[in-house]
Amino acid sequence: MLLLAVVLIAGIGTAVVSIFWDQNMQMYSDFAYSYTRMAADTIDGDRVSGYIETGETDEYYEKIRQLLNVIAENADLRYMYVVIPQENGLLYVWDAQPEHDARPLLDLWEYSSDYPRYAAEAAYNEGTEQFKAYRYKDMDLATAISPLKDSKGNTVAIVAADLLIPRIREGIIRILANVVASVGVIMIMAMAIYYFTVRRRIITPLETLTDAVSGIVDNLDRKESVKIDVHTGDEIETVARSIEEMDEKLRSYIDENSRITAEKERVNTELSLATRIQADMLPNIFPAFPDRTEFNIHAFMTPAKEVGGDFYDFFFVDHDHMALVIADVSGKGVPAAMFMMMVKSMIQTQVMSGHSPKDALETVNQLICDNNKEGMFISVWLGIVDVKSGVLIAANAGHEYPIIKKPDGNFEILKDKHGFVIGGMEGMKYTEYELLMEPGAKLFVYTDGVPEATDCHFDLFGMDRTLEALNSAADADPEGILKAVEDAVAEFVGRAEQFDDLTMLCFEYKGE
């Protein structure tokens, strides 16, 4: 408000000075012109040439001099004079100086550098009126100049009247002071009225709102909701009611959030327990069979969520035969994990009962289809290897192709015969195939989480990169091979979120 008052007063003052300065200068110029014209009309111009030639005065000369003195004194003029412009100055004919000694007839006043010589010469030569402001010594003057003509209409001299500009300025300053004082009083009264009105209608209610909002968090433990004593009948009261409503909703939200947080903590605890149970169900101690020298095996699973639907398994059927299993359940999370644990137990039961890979998959498929209301399915690769001879008998139920490395070669994809996924259709038949693993051969099986790993641009890791990662560590042990693939996938995916479970198993046959 104070700043606004200062700006308004400065603006009004500037406007007043500008307007009154122009109007006063016009008024004083008209005022000065009126006296120079009156003098020019009164003086007989035909007599001027006689005074210039003789240099002598007469009764008429004295009469005009007294008239000019009376005009200058009564009109409050600084100077009033009748002169003839010369090459180097003004040649005086009459000079009226009420407060000073007048210059005599034919006195030559040399031009001052500040005197508007061009205005005097223009009035004399062109016979036009002129009005100019200039500074003479320490005085600011404004001069009105009118031509003095003879009976033939020729300009014989000029009549000039000088006004003191400081007197004009003093008048404008007095007017400005009165205007500023009036505006200042009005602004102070307006500010006082505005302040008390704003204080009562806005500031005090806002302070009440501020205190209420500040106390909302501190009073959340209280049973009572916030009540705000604001009744202004305008938007501030609407805000007050909104804050009260917000307080009630906030309390309700906090209660609900506390309940949800507790429930979420319970679920997280249970999921953490499920993760540990699932991890414990899979073989996770390596080396798995440190007393057996015929082979080396390593595997791991990294679920996309707390629990996954992928699984791997390996176990001895008898002293010389080991079963290798890797599978991928449709879906993710807890349902997939439960389905995975059920299928894992079924496969292990069938294989331990002496069934071949083909028969085991067919039996498990029929058991699943008999009671599969949720329509879930699982892809499985199952193999049984004779660790004495290196003969591997396997069957594939819709799973990824295994990748084989011969002792002196690179990893290559083995495009075995696929059957349909477990749980997809009743009465499915599966095909077995046999491989001979020579000492130094390696088997790599995996789930689709490896080739279908996706980066932030939605590009897939793919089989080419999988083979490249495998062959970069072809001479490493199974653990080193899996680590090389895991690192390659992680580097490719970058900061993108893991989309699917990542499960791999590598079996190296060494022979007896």
pLDDT tens-digit readout, 384-410: 999 999 999 999 999 999 999 999 899
The closest alpha carbon to 158, from 120, 131, 105, belongs to: 120
Average pLDDT of the residues in 476-498: 91
pTM of the complete model: 0.52
Write a three-state SS string for 305-317.
Answer: CCCCCEEEEEEEC
Phi, psi of 482 (to 5 degrees): -65, -35
Residue 144's identity, in one-letter code, is A
List pLDDT tens digits, range 141-199: 788 899 999 999 999 999 998 887 766 666 667 777 777 777 778 878 878 788 777 77
Residues 6+ apart with CB under 8 A from 131: 29, 32, 33, 119, 142, 143, 144, 145
Q: Is the pLDDT of residue 321 over 80?
A: yes
| Residue linked to tokens 């006063």 | 24
Burial class (CB in 10 A: 0-12, 13-18, 19+), 7: exposed
pLDDT tens string 376-386: 899 999 999 99
Q: Which of 1-5, 163-167, 353-357 has the highest mean pLDDT?
A: 353-357
**3-state secondary structure (DSSP) of residue 130:** strand
